[in-house]
Structure 1
Amino acid sequence: MAVYRGVAIGFYQGDNMKLMDDLAALRPTVFCSVPRLYNRIYAGITNAVKSTGVMRQRLFQAAYNSKKHAIMTGRKPSPIWDRLVFSKIKDKLGGRVRVMGSGASPLSPDVMDFLRVCFGCQVLEGYGMTETSCVISCMEESDNLSGHVGSPNPACEIKLVDVPEMNYFSDDQPYPRGEICVRGPIVFQGYYKDEVQTREVIDESSWLHTGDIGLWLPGGRLKIIDRKKNIFKLAQGEYIAPEKIENVYAKCKFISQCFVYGRGIT
């Protein structure tokens, strides 16, 4: 649909080290990526600010706090901060970005707010799967609250199912929690020539069990909080989600990628 409407699509050279150069040359208006790249942009800007000296750090922090407060309260930020501080940051992505989209894995609320402030554009996070024709839920443009993946796609239903072994229940208060299940015309019919695996993910009522743990926030917003499939059980009976540990380690500037592996002691 985007190409039909005349949208031009740019591709990077294939070298991650030259990605920022490609962005400056392409000057995108809509930029979609994964949290890993956004985390790198966040780290790159913050490290650059720290190396500029005390006075410029204070100026950046004052500008950041003022603009963030204005955005979160629904007011128009003062243009002086863009001219003094954020215009050079915007130029790193070509200076024309209007919308940033994030998916594939959760984006930290701190990073999302940081991108909104520094680039002065909408930052939207969505949630979906190949099995659901991509989008299950997506944030609305007017929503400034971070840390969630928006409201359900009108083309599907979403419900949360109890996961007793992880202490998640759909009647939890104040926020219901459980495995995210999806039903609707966007859900696929099944895996090709694999009835066994199809029955494992689609139940008799046509609900697709995603394996993700969600939580309902006020306003019908969905938040991803855990993963049912990628867990292992410790000797004392406690369930551990390695992705949470990986996300903590990944914030370290000395770590590019990490993988947490659980092995029993014999």
Structure 2
Amino acid sequence: MSTLTIAPSTSTRPTHAPGFTDLLRSEWTKFKTLRSTWWSLGAMLFLSLGMSILLTSLFTAHYATLGPEDKASFGNDTIGLILQPGAQLGELALTVLGVLLISSEFSTGMIKATVLAAPRRTPVLAAKAAVLAGVVLVLSEVIAWACFLVGSAIVHKHASVTLSTPGTLRAVLGFGGVMAMTALIALATGTLLRHTAAAVSVALGVNLVVPILLELVPGSVGRHLSYAMPQRAGQLIMDRTESVNTPYSQWTGFGIVALWTVVLLALAFWSIKKRDV
């Protein structure tokens, strides 16, 4: 009589934890397959480039009707006129993108599968932040250079804007840095609140509503607080010269946005490590 031999069962448990390169590849796959990614990036491109061209064209077309102060402002800070309006609207789209990139995982429950695959949660968030910042930085710089080239061609009859003009290169490069940090701030907010509507509302409120309310504070304190908010502080890097109406210099404003980014990301890393999913 022959005996039946039963082979020992094999485990399906992974032989090794995913490395950071694996996590980057995974997050890139998630990023490019989400429809919200392309809608948000498309909206950013349309708003940033479209608004820059539109307002620059309007100022140029009505240049003869501008008052002396407006004409002086037009000539002294032309690069700011070209870049800042597009940046302000483009940041709205990036806020939605950054929040959705993490909040969608919490709302669909996908975050549980992500944590099972990578129990150390902080590298997952780091990979997500790296992918988001990298894509936004590259696209933002493409938009900034396009705005600069098209805008300088539109205004050339009334103002000269070249790379040799003091502050121009800083403004163009700073555009991408501010946009990337805006997306990271939104990602951190989404990680902390874990709810799309709440996170988008808070992020937009901090950028759009809070600065206006802070200006109601009497004296220079209110103005300092208002320009300490991320969006207003970030706009300063795109000014060619320091204005008497702004309490901070260009690089100080850039540093304020960087501080917001670092602090909120630190809180987000702490949150995703300590809280249950």
Which structure is larger by alpha-carbon Rg, 1 or 2? Answer: 2
TM-score range, shorter chain: under 0.3
More strand by share: 1
More helix by share: 2
* TM-score between both structures, scaled by the size of structure 1: 0.28
Higher relative contact order (CA 8 A, sep 6+): 2
